[in-house]
Amino acid sequence: MFGRMQRSEKITMNLLLLILAAIWVIPMVYLVMYSFEGDQWGNYQAVVSLDLFPHFLINSFIVSTSVVLLLLIVVSLAAFGFSKLRFPGDSSVFAICLIGLMIPPVAMLVPLFQTIKSFHWMNTYLSLIGPEVAMSIPFSLLLARNAFDEVPGELLEAAEIDGSNAWGRFVHVMLPLAIPVLTTIGILAFLNSWNQYVLPLVFISKETMLTVTMAPKFFIKEYTSDYHKVFAALVLITIPVVILYIFGQKYMQRGLTSGAIK
User: Which CATH number fits the domain that encloses residue 113?
Assistant: 1.10.3720.10
Confidence of residue 259 (pLDDT cuts 50, 70, 90): low
On whether residue 1 sits in a domain, the answer given is: no
Question: Residue 169's CB: how many other CB atoms inside 10 A?
Answer: 21
Q: How many domains does the chain have?
A: 1
Give exposure, 59-89, as e/b (b: 16+ Cβ within 10 Å): bbbebbbbbbebbbebbbebbbbbbbeeeee
Average pLDDT of the segment spanning 159-181? 85
Angstrom distance (rounded) from CA 47 to CA 231? 10
On the CB side of 18, how many CA atoms lie within 13 Å of its CA? 6
Distance CA 207, CA 61 (A): 16
| Overall average pLDDT of the 122-143 stretch | 93
Instruction: Find out whether 123 and 203 touch, Cβ atoms under 8 Å.
Output: yes
Q: Pick the range with the lowest mean pLDDT from 55-64, 133-142, 238-247.
A: 238-247
Residue 3: band (very low, low, confident or very high) from pLDDT cuts 50, 70, 90: low
Residue type, 26: I
Note whether residue 6 is domain-resident: no
Q: Is 225 a domain residue?
A: yes
Domain encompassing residue 113 = 39-256
pLDDT, residue 253, reads 66
Is residue 19 included in any domain, yes or no? Answer: no
Nearest by Cα to 183 from 88, 84, 76, 77: 76
Distances (CA, A) of 163 to 124, 140, 157, 173, 175: 45, 31, 10, 13, 18
> 33-37, 108-112, 220-224: lowest mean pLDDT where?
220-224
Measure CA of the first residue to CA of the last residue in the chain; give whole Å.
Answer: 15
CA 235 to chain centre: 19
pLDDT band, residue 22 (cuts 50/70/90)? confident
Identify whether 24 is part of a domain: no
Task: Name the CA dihedral angle for 245, 251, 256, 262, rounded to a multiple of 10 degrees.
Answer: 170
Residue 214 within a domain? yes
- Residue 115 inside a domain? The answer is yes
Lowest mean pLDDT among 36-40, 94-98, 141-145, 198-202: 36-40
Q: What is the pTM of this model?
A: 0.85
Percent of the chain with pLDDT over 90: 36
21 found inside a domain: no
Distance CA 158, CA 178 (A): 18
Q: Supply the mean pLDDT for the chain.
A: 86
Q: Report residue 194's pLDDT band, with 50, 70 and 90 as the boundaries.
A: very high
How far is residue 131's CA from residue 103's CA, in Å, rounded to a whole number?
13
Residue 141 has pLDDT above 80, yes or no: yes
